[in-house]
Every structure is written in structure tokens, then in C-alpha cells.
Chains A and B, each alone.
Chain A
């Protein structure tokens, strides 16, 4: 079993090409930036040559100026803070409900039979259809916004938690039984780790949806400090550079969430992908 002993690799053209290919895979790939760069160039040309009305599409330079002013002003950061706090509260509430209900439905056949049909009907309702009801039940203030975000977050968390638990292999359960695991040991040592990748997928989706819902809530429920308000304010005053900046901030936050959760997933669930010999 001499698995880890390195064998000297001869240098042939084919092996050199394979090595070059592997090195290329390891280098960061910047090709994803081509499209946005091309769009910015097009945007500059369109505004420079007056192909479009610059009140509707402000030039990149003007937009950058506005963005800079916003970035050094306190307003943007305070707004962002409000939005993120809202996002976090809604995400927390929604994911806790999703995790608990998903676990219940995943572990109890009876609960599954009783509750799942209702849930599947419920999730067909477009989230924005809830806004009038939420407004009546929770008012127009902060609780309504958080309720709306939670409402968006909990279905993907629930579904993935449920599915993760349900798809734990019977083979693993049998091993746990053979070693006389108690129900608690079985849940913590076998079912939870086996279901974790999918639970994580649900939470990740929930986090991304939560941010979309935060902007939606700020837009459709009563105005309050937040990134959504920058957008509304920009639209009302017809400041398209402010709107574009707001959109960019929303996108940047979403991208940061995406990036951080991807990194976290890679760290936490490295056992799925590591195939190298230590």
C-alpha cells in the first residue's frame, strides 16, 4: 500500500501540456470581467456621443462622482446599516422557523402528512401578494418589514432541511443502530452531519433571498432609512446617478454574501471534495 510515495514523473510533451493546463486552472480567471467592462465602455460611448438622453442615462463619470459623494457621506453607511440589520433580523427569524419546521417534517411522518400539503400550497403564493395582509397585521413599520423578509426566507430553508434529513441513507442509520446509538446520538452524530450540506444550501439561498426581500420591503412598505430609500429618493428626484449607485450597492452586498457563504461552505464541508491523499 505505497499510496503516498511520489513517483518521479518523466518529462514528455504530453505531461508538460497537462502540467500547464493544471497550472492554468489554478490561476485566477479574469474572463468574467470582460462583459461588465464592455458594458461600461458602451455606456461611456453612448453618453459621450449623445446617443441617449443623459438625464435618463447619466454618464459613468457623473455617476462615479455621485457614488463618491455618497460613499464619503454618512447617509449611505447609516442606510446600509439599517438595511443590514433588517436583513439579519428577517433572515434569523425566517431561518429559525425554516430549520425547526423542516426538522419536524423531516423526522415525523405524521407531521409531514399533516403539514406538508398546506406548506406546498402556501409556497405557491407569490410573496408580494402577502404585502397587504402583512401591512394590516404588522402595520407598516419595522415588524412588517422583518415579517416580510422572514416569509421569503423560510420556505427554501424548510425545504432543504426537510430534504437533507429525509435523504440520509438508511445504511448510515443501520450502522448507528449496530453500535447502539441512542436517538439523540443518532440525530447529532449521523443525521445532522449527513444532512448538513443540504441544510447549508437552504441557509445560503435564504440569505440571498433575504437581501432581495429587504430591498423589496423597503420599497413596498412605508419608507424608512435604508438602501431602498436611496433608490426611492433618487427616482423621485429623478437623480439617475443616485439610483445607479444604489443599485450597485445592493449588488455589491449580494455579491459579498454570495462570496462569504461560498468560502464558509468550502471550509465547513471540505470532506465532500477532498480526494487528495494526506
Chain B
């Protein structure tokens, strides 16, 4: 029996149909993710990395191969997985507290336990005092914190992050990356981060999955053994960053030659 939070992606391929013609998006992706592991998936836009996350979330079932969570095939969305999108996607008519509470709509928790869970998660993302604020009263960084709290409030086994800091300014992005590292250490759950920011991927990930585009394939998996918490300008991390960035410059060269 696998431990909670084990994700197995086995020979997954996906094609999109555009006006009768098929375009491969993902080709033969296989990846095993251990409980509590932080995996960064990095690739340029169009490599299918976000599609992969949608498949894991169960938002799209039209693919070949298998995706298993704790040994059980994923058939649709479930509260055992949480997701944060690039846009915060908070409901503008609900305040912070209620936006987080909405995720507990189908939770087995009692009303009192729900209130506790909401309060704990507001604390976790550092938004105490903003419970009654509406989304359009929050900055982009704060909104994304609420989105993280909402994704975690059901205590999922795995958190999926789809370029969560892509729309933030550099200062907020750096801040939230550090926050995410802290949250991951506190919660101890499996996290999969999709990003095109190599620095972000290396700073956070235990492993970096480098993807190649058209069709999306795994090019290389780079382990990052440096223990957490990490500092951004650690020399080993810089070297790994260099080598990952080099992967992409090679791709560019290949494309030009071809």
C-alpha cells in the first residue's frame, strides 16, 4: 500500500483535436512522485506542462495512460488534491473567509471544525486581519495567498500549482516563493509546481522535471539535493540553475538548425 501523497504518472499521452487534425500535446510522460516531495516542472510555454497538471487534477479525462494517486486511478476532481492557478480565481462577491470556506462546501467536517480550519489557514498564509476583505480590496500577492489557503483548507494529499506566481511582480514573487517553501515544510504534503521560471523551480524543487515542447516530453530530471530551507543565492543552486537554463538554450539551437 502506497503512502498518502504518492503520485504515479504512467505513459501519459494527450492529443488535442483542432478542426479534425490531431495535435499531440503530451507524449509518453512517466513520473513517480514520492509523498512529501516537491517537484518542479519547468518548460517554455506550449510544452504541455499546465495540461499535465489539469490531468492530475482530474479536470480533463481525455488522455491515454494512467495517473494514480496512492495507487488509485484518478477519474475526476477530488478534495484529496488542491490546485492554485496563475490567476487567483477568487470569487469577487465573497470575502477572504468565505472564499476559503467555499472550498469546504463538500467537506465532512463539522461547522465548528470548518471555522477552525479556515482560521488556521488564514494564519498559515499570513492574512490575519483581512478575513472580511473582498478580493478587489487585496493586492495580487495577497489574493494569491488566499488562493493557496483555499487550496490547502481541505488538507489535500497533494497541492498542484500552475504558475502560481507568474502574474506577480518580482518582489512579491520572491516573497511568496519563500512563503511557499515555509508552508510546504509546515504541511509536509506533496507539491507539484509548474513554472517557466527556472530560478523558482530550482529554489523550491527536490527534483526539476525539464520538459521539451511539441510534443511535450520529459527531457531530463534534475535532482536538487540541497536541504530546505534554502537561500536563494546558494552556490550549488546557482550551478543547477545554470545547467537547467543550458537545457533550454540547447533546444533553441536545435530548433534553429532544424
Contacts and interface: CB of A to CB of B under 8 A. Distances in A.
Interface string A106-141: 000000000000000000000000000000000000
A1 B142 contact: yes
B250 interface: no
A274 interface: yes
Interface residues of B, number: 30
Nearest to B142: A1
Contact of A275 (B57, B94, B136): B136
Interface of B: 57, 59, 77-79, 81-83, 85, 87, 89, 91-94, 102-103, 105-106, 126, 129-130, 132-134, 136-137, 139, 142, 154
Contacts of B94: 193, 271
Contacts of B105: 179-181, 185, 189
A178 B137 contact: no
Closest 5 CB pairs of A and B: A271-B93, A193-B93, A180-B106, A178-B77, A179-B103
Contacts of A180: 77-79, 105-106
Contacts of B133: 277-278
Q: Looking at B59, B82, B93, B129, which has the most chain A CB atoms within 10 Å of its CB?
A: B93
A171 interface: yes
Interface in A163-195: 171-172, 174-175, 177-182, 185, 189-190, 193-194
Main secondary structure of the interface of B (DSSP, over half): loop
A68 to B, nearest CB: 47
A278 B136 CA distance: 11
25 contacts: A1-B126, A3-B139, A4-B129, A171-B89, A175-B85, A175-B91, A177-B77, A178-B57, A179-B103, A179-B154, A180-B77, A180-B78, A180-B79, A180-B106, A189-B102, A190-B91, A193-B94, A194-B93, A271-B93, A271-B134, A274-B136, A275-B136, A275-B137, A276-B137, A278-B130
Given A179-B79, A185-B105, A272 B87 contact: no
A269 B136 CA distance: 13
Contact of A179 (B92, B93, B102): B102
A171 B139 contact: no
Given A180-B105, A276-B137, 9 more contacts: A171-B87, A174-B85, A177-B59, A179-B103, A181-B105, A194-B93, A271-B93, A271-B94, A274-B136
B172 to A, nearest CB: 10
Interface string A245-278: 0000000000000000000000001011011111
A1 B133 CA distance: 14
A278 B132 contact: yes
B201 to A, nearest CB: 23
Nearest to B129: A4
Nearest to A181: B105
Contacts of B142: 1
Contacts of A272: 92, 136
A193 B91 contact: yes
Contacts of A171: 85, 87, 89
B16 to A, nearest CB: 16
A119 B234 CA distance: 66
A136 B134 CA distance: 54
A206 B126 CA distance: 46
B62 to A, nearest CB: 15
Contacts of A1: 126, 142
Contacts of B77: 177-180
Given A178-B77, A178-B83, A172 B89 contact: yes
Given A172-B89, A193-B91, A193-B93, A181 B106 contact: yes
Contacts of B82: 178
B251 to A, nearest CB: 30
Contacts of B134: 271, 274
A269 B105 CA distance: 23
A274 B89 CA distance: 18
B77 to A, nearest CB: 5
Contact of B92 (A3, A177, A271, A278): A271
A196 B134 CA distance: 17
B74 to A, nearest CB: 13
B49 to A, nearest CB: 17
B66 to A, nearest CB: 21
A52 B45 CA distance: 76
